[in-house]
Amino acid sequence: MFIIHNFAVFEGLDGSGTTTQLRLLAERFAGHSPPDSPLPPFFETCEPTGGPVGRLIRSVLGGEISLEPAAVAGLFAADRYEHLYGKDGIAGRCARGELVVSDRYLPSSLVYQGITCGEELPRRLNADFPLPELLLFFDLDPQIAQERLNARNGREIYEHLDFQVKVRERYKALLPEYAEAGVRVECVDASAGIGETAELVWRAVQKMPIMNRGYF
Protein backbone atom coordinates (compact mmCIF):
# COMPACT_ATOMS: atom_id res chain seq x y z
CA MET A 1 0.00 0.00 0.00
CA PHE A 2 1.10 3.55 -0.63
CA ILE A 3 0.14 6.77 1.12
CA ILE A 4 -1.87 9.59 -0.45
CA HIS A 5 -0.43 12.82 0.85
CA ASN A 6 -2.78 15.67 1.79
CA PHE A 7 -5.40 13.08 2.80
CA ALA A 8 -6.75 12.69 6.35
CA VAL A 9 -9.38 10.31 7.70
CA PHE A 10 -11.63 10.46 10.75
CA GLU A 11 -12.51 7.06 12.27
CA GLY A 12 -14.37 5.95 15.36
CA LEU A 13 -17.39 4.27 16.87
CA ASP A 14 -20.85 5.38 15.84
CA GLY A 15 -21.63 8.32 18.08
CA SER A 16 -17.99 9.31 18.57
CA GLY A 17 -18.47 12.66 16.83
CA THR A 18 -16.56 12.25 13.57
CA THR A 19 -19.28 13.89 11.48
CA THR A 20 -19.66 16.83 13.85
CA GLN A 21 -15.93 17.41 14.00
CA LEU A 22 -15.53 17.30 10.24
CA ARG A 23 -18.26 19.92 9.90
CA LEU A 24 -16.53 22.14 12.46
CA LEU A 25 -13.20 21.71 10.70
CA ALA A 26 -14.76 22.70 7.37
CA GLU A 27 -16.27 25.78 9.00
CA ARG A 28 -12.88 26.70 10.39
CA PHE A 29 -11.31 26.55 6.94
CA ALA A 30 -14.17 28.52 5.42
CA GLY A 31 -13.86 31.25 8.03
CA HIS A 32 -10.08 31.57 8.05
CA SER A 33 -8.60 33.08 4.92
CA PRO A 34 -6.67 36.29 5.65
CA PRO A 35 -4.44 37.33 2.73
CA ASP A 36 -1.25 37.00 4.75
CA SER A 37 -1.90 33.40 5.85
CA PRO A 38 -4.30 31.59 3.51
CA LEU A 39 -5.18 27.99 4.16
CA PRO A 40 -4.91 25.32 1.45
CA PRO A 41 -8.05 24.42 -0.49
CA PHE A 42 -10.15 22.14 1.70
CA PHE A 43 -12.56 19.39 0.69
CA GLU A 44 -14.71 17.43 3.13
CA THR A 45 -16.17 14.07 2.17
CA CYS A 46 -17.44 10.83 3.67
CA GLU A 47 -18.09 7.14 3.20
CA PRO A 48 -20.51 5.83 2.19
CA THR A 49 -20.53 8.53 -0.48
CA GLY A 50 -23.54 10.26 -1.95
CA GLY A 51 -23.08 8.37 -5.22
CA PRO A 52 -25.27 5.52 -6.50
CA VAL A 53 -23.38 2.78 -4.68
CA GLY A 54 -23.11 4.85 -1.52
CA ARG A 55 -26.86 5.48 -1.52
CA LEU A 56 -27.47 1.75 -1.79
CA ILE A 57 -25.16 1.15 1.17
CA ARG A 58 -27.02 3.74 3.22
CA SER A 59 -30.27 1.90 2.48
CA VAL A 60 -28.66 -1.24 3.92
CA LEU A 61 -27.34 0.58 6.98
CA GLY A 62 -30.75 2.11 7.60
CA GLY A 63 -32.40 -1.30 7.51
CA GLU A 64 -34.46 -0.50 4.41
CA ILE A 65 -33.04 -3.46 2.50
CA SER A 66 -31.16 -6.57 3.59
CA LEU A 67 -28.06 -7.95 1.87
CA GLU A 68 -25.55 -10.64 2.75
CA PRO A 69 -22.54 -9.30 4.70
CA ALA A 70 -20.13 -10.30 1.92
CA ALA A 71 -22.21 -8.34 -0.60
CA VAL A 72 -22.13 -5.28 1.66
CA ALA A 73 -18.34 -5.58 1.91
CA GLY A 74 -18.15 -5.62 -1.87
CA LEU A 75 -20.37 -2.54 -2.14
CA PHE A 76 -18.14 -0.61 0.26
CA ALA A 77 -15.09 -1.47 -1.85
CA ALA A 78 -16.86 -0.41 -5.07
CA ASP A 79 -17.98 2.87 -3.50
CA ARG A 80 -14.44 3.49 -2.26
CA TYR A 81 -12.92 2.98 -5.70
CA GLU A 82 -15.23 5.60 -7.19
CA HIS A 83 -14.59 7.85 -4.20
CA LEU A 84 -10.86 7.70 -4.83
CA TYR A 85 -10.60 7.66 -8.61
CA GLY A 86 -13.89 8.92 -10.00
CA LYS A 87 -14.47 12.44 -11.28
CA ASP A 88 -13.23 14.95 -8.68
CA GLY A 89 -12.19 12.03 -6.49
CA ILE A 90 -9.84 12.03 -3.54
CA ALA A 91 -6.69 11.05 -5.47
CA GLY A 92 -7.08 13.82 -8.04
CA ARG A 93 -7.89 16.48 -5.46
CA CYS A 94 -4.90 15.60 -3.29
CA ALA A 95 -2.61 15.61 -6.33
CA ARG A 96 -3.83 19.15 -7.13
CA GLY A 97 -2.79 20.34 -3.68
CA GLU A 98 -6.13 20.18 -1.89
CA LEU A 99 -6.43 18.99 1.69
CA VAL A 100 -9.05 16.23 1.71
CA VAL A 101 -10.61 14.93 4.92
CA SER A 102 -13.01 11.99 4.89
CA ASP A 103 -15.43 10.88 7.58
CA ARG A 104 -14.58 7.14 7.39
CA TYR A 105 -12.48 5.28 4.88
CA LEU A 106 -10.66 1.95 4.52
CA PRO A 107 -10.24 1.24 8.27
CA SER A 108 -14.02 1.24 8.70
CA SER A 109 -14.35 -1.65 6.25
CA LEU A 110 -11.66 -3.69 7.98
CA VAL A 111 -13.38 -3.09 11.31
CA TYR A 112 -17.10 -3.26 10.54
CA GLN A 113 -17.06 -5.79 7.71
CA GLY A 114 -14.33 -7.67 9.55
CA ILE A 115 -16.89 -8.28 12.29
CA THR A 116 -19.79 -9.19 10.01
CA CYS A 117 -18.07 -11.48 7.49
CA GLY A 118 -14.60 -12.24 8.83
CA GLU A 119 -11.24 -10.56 8.32
CA GLU A 120 -10.12 -12.23 5.08
CA LEU A 121 -12.68 -10.86 2.61
CA PRO A 122 -12.48 -7.16 3.61
CA ARG A 123 -8.69 -7.31 3.49
CA ARG A 124 -8.72 -8.89 0.05
CA LEU A 125 -11.26 -6.41 -1.32
CA ASN A 126 -9.35 -3.42 0.04
CA ALA A 127 -5.76 -4.60 -0.39
CA ASP A 128 -4.89 -2.20 -3.21
CA PHE A 129 -6.38 0.98 -1.80
CA PRO A 130 -3.90 3.68 -0.71
CA LEU A 131 -3.57 4.81 2.89
CA PRO A 132 -4.22 8.29 4.26
CA GLU A 133 -1.41 10.52 5.48
CA LEU A 134 -3.23 11.12 8.78
CA LEU A 135 -5.68 8.90 10.64
CA LEU A 136 -7.53 10.44 13.58
CA PHE A 137 -9.24 7.87 15.79
CA PHE A 138 -11.99 9.32 17.97
CA ASP A 139 -11.84 7.06 21.00
CA LEU A 140 -14.94 6.76 23.15
CA ASP A 141 -16.38 4.31 25.65
CA PRO A 142 -19.10 2.35 23.81
CA GLN A 143 -21.60 3.02 26.59
CA ILE A 144 -21.15 6.77 26.21
CA ALA A 145 -21.50 6.39 22.46
CA GLN A 146 -24.80 4.57 23.00
CA GLU A 147 -26.08 7.38 25.18
CA ARG A 148 -25.37 9.81 22.38
CA LEU A 149 -27.06 7.57 19.83
CA ASN A 150 -30.14 7.39 22.06
CA ALA A 151 -30.67 11.10 21.39
CA ARG A 152 -30.97 10.49 17.64
CA ASN A 153 -34.02 9.50 15.66
CA GLY A 154 -33.66 5.87 14.63
CA ARG A 155 -30.69 3.52 14.61
CA GLU A 156 -28.54 1.99 11.89
CA ILE A 157 -27.93 -1.74 11.86
CA TYR A 158 -24.52 -1.56 13.55
CA GLU A 159 -25.50 0.96 16.22
CA HIS A 160 -26.03 -1.32 19.21
CA LEU A 161 -23.81 -1.79 22.22
CA ASP A 162 -22.56 -5.36 21.72
CA PHE A 163 -21.46 -4.59 18.17
CA GLN A 164 -19.82 -1.29 19.08
CA VAL A 165 -17.78 -2.96 21.84
CA LYS A 166 -16.32 -5.20 19.13
CA VAL A 167 -15.78 -2.17 16.89
CA ARG A 168 -13.63 -0.45 19.50
CA GLU A 169 -11.60 -3.61 20.11
CA ARG A 170 -10.91 -4.04 16.40
CA TYR A 171 -9.88 -0.42 15.95
CA LYS A 172 -7.44 -0.72 18.86
CA ALA A 173 -5.92 -3.81 17.25
CA LEU A 174 -5.76 -2.23 13.78
CA LEU A 175 -4.25 1.18 14.54
CA PRO A 176 -0.68 -0.05 15.20
CA GLU A 177 -0.72 -1.72 11.79
CA TYR A 178 -1.39 1.62 10.12
CA ALA A 179 1.27 3.36 12.18
CA GLU A 180 3.81 0.74 11.11
CA ALA A 181 2.82 1.35 7.47
CA GLY A 182 3.79 5.02 7.77
CA VAL A 183 0.41 6.59 8.54
CA ARG A 184 0.45 9.22 11.28
CA VAL A 185 -2.10 7.86 13.74
CA GLU A 186 -3.45 10.08 16.50
CA CYS A 187 -6.07 9.17 19.08
CA VAL A 188 -8.53 11.87 20.11
CA ASP A 189 -10.42 11.70 23.39
CA ALA A 190 -13.96 11.92 22.03
CA SER A 191 -15.43 12.13 25.52
CA ALA A 192 -14.25 15.73 25.80
CA GLY A 193 -16.52 18.65 24.97
CA ILE A 194 -17.17 19.46 21.33
CA GLY A 195 -15.02 22.60 21.44
CA GLU A 196 -12.12 20.90 23.20
CA THR A 197 -12.22 18.01 20.74
CA ALA A 198 -12.26 20.46 17.83
CA GLU A 199 -9.05 22.04 19.11
CA LEU A 200 -7.38 18.63 19.34
CA VAL A 201 -8.42 17.93 15.76
CA TRP A 202 -7.11 21.30 14.60
CA ARG A 203 -3.73 20.73 16.22
CA ALA A 204 -3.42 17.34 14.52
CA VAL A 205 -4.37 18.71 11.10
CA GLN A 206 -1.94 21.64 11.47
CA LYS A 207 0.94 19.15 11.59
CA MET A 208 0.25 17.95 8.05
CA PRO A 209 2.96 19.15 5.62
CA ILE A 210 0.41 20.83 3.34
CA MET A 211 -0.43 23.14 6.23
CA ASN A 212 3.16 24.33 6.46
CA ARG A 213 4.05 25.15 2.87
CA GLY A 214 3.89 28.86 3.24
CA TYR A 215 0.33 28.90 4.43
CA PHE A 216 1.19 30.19 7.92
Q: How far apart are CA 8 and CA 104, in angstroms?
A: 10
Domain boundaries, the chain: 3-212
CA pseudo-torsion sign 121, 126, 128, 134:
negative
pLDDT 10s digits, 123-143: 999 999 999 999 999 999 999
Cβ–Cβ < 8 Å for 103, 22 = yes
Query: 213 pLDDT exceeds 80?
Result: no
Q: Which CATH class is domain 3-212?
A: alpha beta
Single-letter residue type at 42: F
Query: 115 pLDDT exceeds 80?
Result: yes
pLDDT 10s digits, 50-87: 999 999 999 999 999 999 999 999 999 999 999 999 99
- Residue 26's pLDDT band (cuts 50, 70, 90): very high
Q: Which residues contact 61 (CB under 8 A, 6 or more apart)?
A: 48, 156, 157, 158
